[in-house]
């Protein structure tokens, strides 16, 4: 169920707007239909009351025989009118409160004409009452409307009234109920559709305008994460968009200043250390060969390696190297050729080129760090390539002791070394995996570590393929 729900804020807002529009339209149509039905009932009662007054006023002074003759003369198929000794409405109990009140009104209004009782009943239309429809192509618009109205009266219910005169004779007549028109018709439905479409279009436009700062922020942050030296985004548009763009540009500027300060600090540190280290090597060269001299030379070499690693870690993010299209298969093969302890599985090499977008030197360093890490601590390593339509994966399986499950994420932190599985005597400062993962992420990829079921560490580098 969750996968069918919107995954973005604009989609959620649009869904809420459309749902609210649909609910409001249905509720409005329901209220209009109910009000129209109530108003139509009042009009029908008024018409019956008015007709009863006119007919009673015409017939009350006539003799019983004259009443029957006059009633048969003014009756029609739509408006039946008869005079008889028994009422058509046999029951004296009204069907509902409204009809009971209408009966009281009729008796009160017609009492001066000798009316003693009134009964009103609602009858449903029957099939026999439906008038035949005239066919032909020579029907005008007015006649067509009249025929449609007549058909509507035939299909509608009727009000039947029985009114008793003081001499005991009953006046019976029917009054067709005005058929309520449909709320939605073929003529009005396109108008509703157009209005709903306009509301949806305006909602989409408004939502895109309102969520523009979020999209700008998302795009800018992704771009800055890949290239800190990218050009600032334009500060144009509405006040919200300008504010968001200005905040992102200020953040990027401060991040760049921070990274550049770190780069300059690392470069200055390396420069300042290089001079005393050079003097130390010169002085060591003047000493006679001894174990103390060899130990000091080794310590000086370690210090140089530390300074070089720290400088590399501090400066790789602000390198001026541009991203290029790289044949990942060729890059892996060239790196593997530099390690005699590494075996590349030729059977799983793809038959086509796998092109990635990345900085060439940085990506080579990433792969080299991973392979070097596997060879250093696992002695031997096996490489294989896997790929899909969207990404390629380099899988490295070494023969080392592996890493405790709880420490698989910790080894990516700078200067983290695991004493039990990674002895300091083998060299390194715990920066290789950190630099490798940063390079992979800058190219849109990721590095995953896991312990192989058969022993050893399984390292997987995943990178997106170029379109």
DSSP secondary structure of 30-82: HHHHHHHHHHHHHHHHHHHHHHHHHHHHHHTTS-HHHHHHHHHHH--SSS-EE
- Helices and strands of the chain, counted as H and E runs: 11, 11
Q: CA-CA distance, 283 to 438, in Å (whole number)?
A: 39
Q: For residue 208, give the nearest of 466, 375, 421, 17 by alpha carbon.
A: 17
Q: What is the pLDDT of residue 421?
A: 43
Listed as ranges, residues in the chain with pLDDT below 70 are 1-4, 6-7, 9, 77-78, 125-138, 140-156, 179-184, 226, 270, 308-320, 348, 351-352, 414-430
Q: CA-CA distance, 274 to 419, in Å (whole number)?
A: 29
Q: CA-CA distance, 435 to 319, in Å (whole number)?
A: 13
Q: What is the pLDDT of residue 278?
A: 81
Q: Using an 8 Å Cβ cutoff, are 22 and 144 in contact?
A: no
Beta bridge partners of 171: 83, 163
Residue found by looking up tokens 């896997």 in the block: 386
Query: CB under 8 Å to 455, separation ≥6 — which residues?
Result: 399, 402
User: How many residues does this entry show for the chain?
Assistant: 467
Q: What is the pLDDT of residue 162?
A: 92
Q: What is the pLDDT of residue 420?
A: 46
Query: CB under 8 Å to 385, separation ≥6 — which residues?
Result: 328, 329, 332, 345, 348, 349, 350, 354, 392, 393, 394, 395
At 304 the three-state DSSP class reads: helix
Q: CA-CA distance, 103 to 97, in Å (whole number)?
A: 10
Q: CA-CA distance, 303 to 283, in Å (whole number)?
A: 16
Helix (H) / strand (E) element for 301: namely: helix 291-315
Q: What is the pLDDT of residue 422?
A: 42
Q: Using an 8 Å Cβ cutoff, are 177 and 160 in contact?
A: no
Task: Give the number of C-alpha atoms closer than 13 A to the C-alpha of residue 116, restricted to the C-beta side.
Answer: 8
Dihedral angle over CA of 195, 199, 204, 208, nearest 10: 140
């Amino acid at each position: 169920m969750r996968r069918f729900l919107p995954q973005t804020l604009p989609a959620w807002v649009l869904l809420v707007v459309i749902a609210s529009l649909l609910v409001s339209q249905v509720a409005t149509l329901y209220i209009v239909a109910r009000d129209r039905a109530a108003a139509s009932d009042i009009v029908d009662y008024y018409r019956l009351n008015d007709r009863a007054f006119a007919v009673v006023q015409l017939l009350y002074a006539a003799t019983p025989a004259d009443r029957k003759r006059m009633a048969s003369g003014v009756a029609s198929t739509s408006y039946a009118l008869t005079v008889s000794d028994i009422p058509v409405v046999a029951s004296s109990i009204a069907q509902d409160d409204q009809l009971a009140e209408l009966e009281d009104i009729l008796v009160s209004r017609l009492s001066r004409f000798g009316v003693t009782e009134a009964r009103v009943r609602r009858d449903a239309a029957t099939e026999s009452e439906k008038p035949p429809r005239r066919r032909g192509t020579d029907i005008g618009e007015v006649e067509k409307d009249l025929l449609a109205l007549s058909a509507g009266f035939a299909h509608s219910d009727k009000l039947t009234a029985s009114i008793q005169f003081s001499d005991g004779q009953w006046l019976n007549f029917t009054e067709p109920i005005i058929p309520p028109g449909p709320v939605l018709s073929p003529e009005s439905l396109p108008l509703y559709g157009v209005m709903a479409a306009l509301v949806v279009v305006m909602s989409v436009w408004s939502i895109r305008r309102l969520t523009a700062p979020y999209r700008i922020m998302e795009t800018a942050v992704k771009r800055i994460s890949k290239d800190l030296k990218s050009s600032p985004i334009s500060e144009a548009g509405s006040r919200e968009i300008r504010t968001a763009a200005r905040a992102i540009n200020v953040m990027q500027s401060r991040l760049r200043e921070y990274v550049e300060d770190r780069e300059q600090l690392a470069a200055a540190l390396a420069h300042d250390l290089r001079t005393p280290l050079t003097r130390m090597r010169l002085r060591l060269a003047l000493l006679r060969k001894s174990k103390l001299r060899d130990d000091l030379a080794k310590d000086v070499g370690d210090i140089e390696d530390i300074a070089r690693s720290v400088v590399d870690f501090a400066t790789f993010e602000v390198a001026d190297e541009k991203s290029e299209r790289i044949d990942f298969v060729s890059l892996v093969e060239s790196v593997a050729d530099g390690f005699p302890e590494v075996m590349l599985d030729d059977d799983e090499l793809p038959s086509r080129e796998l092109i990635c977008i990345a900085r060439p030197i940085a990506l080579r360093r990433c792969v080299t760090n991973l392979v070097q890490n596997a060879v250093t601590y696992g002695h031997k390593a096996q490489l294989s390539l896997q790929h899909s339509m969207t990404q390629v994966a380099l899988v490295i399986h070494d023969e080392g002791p592996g890493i405790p499950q709880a420490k698989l994420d910790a080894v990516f932190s700078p200067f983290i070394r695991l004493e039990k599985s990674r002895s300091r005597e083998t060299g390194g400062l715990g920066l290789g995996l950190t630099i490798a993962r940063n390079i992979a992420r800058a190219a849109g990829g990721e590095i995953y570590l896991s312990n192989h079921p058969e022993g050893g560490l399984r390292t997987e580098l995943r990178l997106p393929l170029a379109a």
